[in-house]
Each structure stands twice: as C-alpha cells, then as structure tokens.
Amino acid sequence: MLATCSNRRKPVAMKVIDKAEDERSIVKEVRLMRMASGCPFLCHAHTAFQTKLTACIVMEYASGNSLKKFIKGTGKLKTDDIIFYAAEIICGLQFLHANGIVHRDIKLGNILLTGEGHIKISDFGLAVEGMFGQRKVKGKAGTLKYMAPEVSCSE
C-alpha cells in the first residue's frame, strides 16, 4: 500500500499483515528490515505499528515496481541490465549472508526497482537468522519454482 510519511513528505510503502498469521515472524521481519538499512540493495523499514488485528510495516518505497512486473511489461531485459541487476542482488545477498541471514524467498516479485534503476530485495517474512558457519536451514520455504533443486527435492 502506498502512503505518505508526514514528517518526511516522501512516499512510503506500507505492508499490512493480519496478526492472526504469526506474530513472531512479523517481529522478525521488522527487525531484519531495520538491520537492512546497512545495505543499499535491501528494502528497509522506517517504523512499524499495530492495531488490534493487524501489524503495519512502514518501509521505503521503490517506485519502479517489482522486477517481475517490469519484465512482464517490457518483455525482456538487455544483457547489460541483467548483469547490473544480478550484481546488485548478489551484493544484497552477500550482506544478508555475512549477517547470518538466509532470505529463502528470492524471486522476481520480491526484487523491487527504485526510480533510479537500482534494486531492493524485499519480503523478509520467510528469512532465517543465525545461519553462521556450516549450519543448514531445515525445512522448505519459499516459492517452489524459484527453489534450488536440492531444496525442493529434500524431505
């Protein structure tokens, strides 16, 4: 949902989540998005608040839409753009992994484009923390068609 931050006078995005889902994952997502402010390629949260039934995360607005919608609208990407976006995605993932975080839902719909043409990785709802060293993530999460084969085939 698009909103305007009154003290910044800038557009912001607002994610509204039904609290009946999993309150712990909502708190975790807010914490991870605040930590993400250390990387220019991750979508970060400005603030969060709750009502009786919903939790709301106010985050930076990426005016260029998702990479999925962008490709659907243009039909294809130029090779130079693919290389550029891939490099920024890798930098964002490198930041997450250096901080022990595995995103678990990287897909075109969760890669947002800014008005300046840079990417922002979003949606930390399925992310796992504390993944340092040789620890492995247990269980499947994410979008099946974007999963690594070794993850989708595991039990």
**3-state SS assignment for residue 37:** helix
Question: Measured between alpha carbons, how far is 150 from 155 in angstroms, rounded to an integer?
Answer: 10
Tokens of 63: 């005016």
Work out the number of other CB atoms within 10 angstroms of the CB of residue 151.
Answer: 15
Question: Is 105 in the active site?
Answer: yes
Question: Measured between alpha carbons, how far is 131 from 109 in angstroms, rounded to an integer?
Answer: 24
Q: Which of 22, 80, 81, 105 is catalytic?
A: 105
What is the rounded (10 degree) CA torsion for 64, 67, 71, 72? Answer: -90
Write out the catalytic residue numbers: 105
